[in-house]
C-alpha cells in the first residue's frame, strides 16, 4: 500500500518529529542507564509537595529531591482544590506522608486572571465549568489560604507540618510565607 503524506504516522522517519516523538526518543536513552532503586510507592522523605505547573519550576533541583523522595502534586497555580485534597488524602492515609509543602511562584500565569475567564468560557462553549479558576491577585495571601485549606481538611490526619513558600523565578530562591 502506498502511504501518502496525509497518512504519515509519527513513526514515519521522514515526518518532522513532534515534541512527543522527541520524548519517546529521550525515554529510550533514559532507560539505557535507568536503574530500579527497588523503592515501593511510599515516598522516602514522607512529604507531599503541592506546586504550580509552571515550566520554570524544577522541583527536584530547587528542593534537592531525589527519585522516590516525595509526592509531587502540580496544577495551575499550585492551589489546593478538592482534587489536591484527594491526592493529599491518598498520600497521607495510604502512602505514609506526613508533611505538606506548598509552593507558589512569582510571575504566575494565574496572577491577574479573574473569574471572568470562566464567564467568557461559558459564553464561548455554552457550558459553565464545574471548577473555579482559583485565580489570585496576592501571592502571599493565596499561599496562606492554601495552607489553611490543608490544615482544616477533615480528611488529612497530618496537618501539623504544613509550610508554604513563594519561589522566585528570577533568583531561584524560596521565600517562606507565615
Ligand atoms: Zn504558576
The arithmetic mean of pLDDT across residues 107-118, rounded, is 87
The response to whether 52 counts as a known ligand-binding position is: yes
CB 63 within 8 A of CB 115: no
**How far does the centroid of ligand 1 lie from the alpha carbon of residue 109, in Å?**
5
Q: How does pLDDT run across 138-171, given as a tens digit for each residue?
A: 999 999 999 999 999 999 999 999 999 999 999 9
Domains of the chain from N-terminus onward? 1-34 (no CATH), 38-177 (3.40.1050.10)
Q: Could you give the CA distance from residue 93 to residue 88 in angstroms, rounded to a whole number?
A: 8
- Global pTM exceeds 0.85: yes
The residues near 39 (Cβ < 8 Å, ≥ 6 apart) are: 67, 68
**How far does the centroid of ligand 1 lie from the alpha carbon of residue 21, in Å?**
26
Amino acid at each position: 500500500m502506498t502511504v501518502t503524506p496525509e497518512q504519515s504516522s509519527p513513526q514515519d522517519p521522514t515526518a518532522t518529529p513532534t515534541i512527543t516523538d522527541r520524548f519517546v526518543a529521550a525515554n529510550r536513552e533514559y532507560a539505557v542507564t535507568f536503574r530500579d532503586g527497588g523503592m515501593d510507592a511510599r515516598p522516602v522523605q514522607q512529604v507531599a509537595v503541592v506546586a504550580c505547573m509552571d515550566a520554570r519550576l524544577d522541583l527536584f533541583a530547587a528542593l534537592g529531591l531525589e527519585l522516590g523522595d516525595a509526592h509531587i502534586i502540580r496544577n495551575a497555580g499550585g492551589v489546593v482544590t478538592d482534587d489536591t485534597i484527594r491526592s493529599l488524602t491518598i498520600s497521607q492515609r495510604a502512602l505514609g506522608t506526613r508533611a505538606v509543602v506548598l509552593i507558589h511562584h512569582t510571575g504566575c500565569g494565574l496572577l491577574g486572571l479573574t473569574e471572568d475567564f470562566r464567564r467568557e468560557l461559558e459564553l464561548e462553549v455554552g457550558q459553565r465549568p464545574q471548577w473555579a479558576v482559583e485565580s489570585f491577585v496576592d501571592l502571599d495571601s493565596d499561599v496562606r489560604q492554601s495552607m489553611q485549606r490543608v490544615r482544616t481538611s477533615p480528611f488529612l490526619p497530618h496537618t501539623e507540618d504544613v509550610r508554604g513558600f513563594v519561589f522566585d523565578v528570577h533568583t531561584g530562591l524560596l521565600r517562606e510565607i507565615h
